[in-house]
Amino acid sequence: AQRVTQPEKLLSVFKGAPVELKCNYSYSGSPELFWYVQYSRQRLQLLLRHISRESIKGFTADLNKGETSFHLKKPFAQEEDSAMYYCALSYPITYNNTNAGKSTFGDGTTLTVKP
């Protein structure tokens, strides 16, 4: 069964420090990995996805298939990065993929960036 694990419920760093939010997954097949973010009083929104290989707001995430990880990193955290971050896994539509269309989210990590 697909599973996404975010081992840290809470993460606190100082402004300007590097930050890494961990995400590990278990899968069967070739899933697509995402990071979603929820800022205070805002709706959940996409931060980045593996397939686009973009850097959004200074964040990057590298897919490590050997370690089944998709950790989110930023070299210099900003106070406006304080938010809840969710790692998510989805399956593409392929023949005989009963998981297609189903998304699995981790429990989320609350990041606090202190001044």
Using rule CB under 8 A, residue 45 touches another protein: yes
DSSP structure class, residue 56: B
User: What are the phi and psi torsion angles at 48 (to 5°)?
Assistant: -160, 160
Residue whose CB is less far from another protein, 13 or 44 = 44
Q: Considering the complex, what minimum distance in angstroms separates the CB of residue 94 from another protein?
A: 8
Strands (E), the chain: 3-5, 10-14, 19-21, 24-26, 32-38, 45-49, 60-64, 69-74, 83-90, 103-105, 109-114
Classify 50 in phi/psi space as left (phi over 0), alpha (psi -120 to 50) or beta.
Answer: alpha
Candidate residues 49, 71, 74, 85; the one interacting with another protein per rule CB under 8 A: 49
Using rule CB under 8 A, residue 59 touches another protein: no
Binding mask 12-41 for another protein (x = CB under 8 A): -------------------xx-x-x-----
Binding mask 74-113 for another protein (x = CB under 8 A): ------------x---xxxx----xxxxxxxxxxx-----
Question: What end-to-end distance do the CA atoms of the chain give, in Å?
Answer: 41
Binding site for another protein (CB under 8 A): 31-32, 34, 36, 43-46, 49, 51, 86, 90-93, 98-108
